Amino acid sequence: MYIDILTIFPQIFDSYFSESIIKRAKKKGLLNIKVHNIRDFARDRHKTVDDRPYGGGPGMILKVEPIYRCLKSIRRKKKSKVIILTPGGKTFDQRVAKNLSKLDQLILICGRYEGFDERVNKFVDMQISIGDYILTGGEIPAMVIVDAITRLIPGVLGNKESIKDETFSKDKNYIEYPQYTRPENFKTIKVPKVLLSGHHKEIKKWRENIKK
């Protein structure tokens, strides 16, 4: 899968995309991430990407021209979507993550300041929000989306069974059963006996009932 991210702070992604599952996915050739600096597509000498809003108001607005030029420079794959990250977008959940993971390419545009020039929306396929709260910019939401999608790409997780019974894997109300590991007894808090029994049928029944 190809993921392109448009941002004015590309260095934010350096560490996160170089660790853990995302690092392994890239190494396996299952994921290709490219971060584009929107400032590189501003044509004035100051690399201006924002300006004051028409009609007045607080803050600055991201300009449409550099974002459009950046989008035009990206080679599109057959199954691709351009997504703008904004508080007013569709709420991101596991179902959305599954749908996006089936694409060949995902292009994410990170907001900043007071948002985007409304005309940017003419060049995107979808608006997404990761929740009903305000963040400084779209970079953290982009990381959240990339992380959630990466886990769903076939071959990324070592055990393909890992995603079958985890939280939200079946529906939005599905919560995974409690998990335990060694030691068996910690400060008198013991692992449930059924999990030590080796009786797989009873363990399965316990796991199904404990979530109700």
Domains located in the chain, CATH noted: 2-150 (3.40.1280.10), 161-210 (1.10.1270.20)
Length of the chain: 212
The per-residue pLDDT for range 79-138, each reduced to its tens digit, is 999 999 999 899 999 999 999 999 999 999 999 988 999 999 999 999 999 999 999 999
pLDDT band at 211 (very low <50, low <70, confident <90, very high): low
Query: What pLDDT is stored for residue 113 in this prediction?
Result: 87
The per-residue pLDDT for range 154-183, each reduced to its tens digit, is 999 876 555 555 555 556 667 788 888 999
**Gyration radius of the chain over CA positions:** 22
Distance CA 2, CA 77 (A): 8
Structure-token pair, residue 161: 């069974």
Distance CA 173, CA 192 (A): 24
User: How far is Cα of residue 66 from the mean position of the Cα atoms in its chain?
Assistant: 23
Structure-token pair, residue 99: 């749908």
Q: Which helix or strand (DSSP H or E) is residue 3 part of?
A: strand 2-7
Prediction pTM value: 0.85
The beta strand positions in 46-181, using DSSP E, are 50-51, 61-62, 80-91, 105-110, 126-129
Average pLDDT over every residue of 48-71: 95
Distance CA 89, CA 94 (A): 15
Average pLDDT over every residue of 2-18: 95
